A = this chain, B = another copy of it.
């Protein structure tokens, strides 16, 4: 799978981490740090029992938003190699909806990119979560109003990603 993808297949943190580490190791100072994030489907949301989820994406735009996020990350953290896969379709409890992996020479950048990317995905990726509840009923989750050019949102993601020391 390419480093940026929207897919119906189960996600693998291990594979994506290995891919970014291999690319990072081939350049410059080499790869000294790999960070990853996986978002998993929880059995409860805001007090309601969830049986499963469905994720829907506007796939071509989602991929372009991933590319934008990668450009933003490269601008701020040159040399970091990013992998980002989002799953769509039906997901069961405990399955990963998103995996992010970042490889860099040193740990600070790898941590910061991983966190930055999940914040930006939640802000601008055209992907929607549909929750199905135990005992019936379902709801679309409404998150952020997507605006890829909102500088304040981008700054919030950067602030969440960057350590205070």
Contact = CB atoms under 8 A, between A and B. Distances in A.
This protein's copies in its complex: 2
Contacts of A111: 37, 111, 114-115
A163 B163 contact: yes
A3 interface: no
Interface secondary structure of A, over-half rule: mixed
B165 A163 contact: no
A38 B42 contact: no
A156 interface: yes
Nearest to A119: B107
Given A42-B105, A159-B164, A160-B163, A36 B33 contact: no
Interface residues of A, number: 39
A81 interface: no
Given A33-B40, A108-B160, A156-B165, 14 more contacts: A13-B17, A17-B36, A17-B38, A30-B42, A30-B44, A35-B36, A35-B38, A37-B110, A39-B107, A107-B118, A111-B115, A159-B164, A160-B163, A162-B163
19 contacts: A13-B13, A13-B36, A25-B40, A30-B43, A31-B40, A31-B42, A33-B40, A35-B37, A37-B107, A37-B110, A37-B111, A39-B107, A107-B118, A108-B160, A111-B111, A111-B115, A115-B163, A159-B164, A160-B165
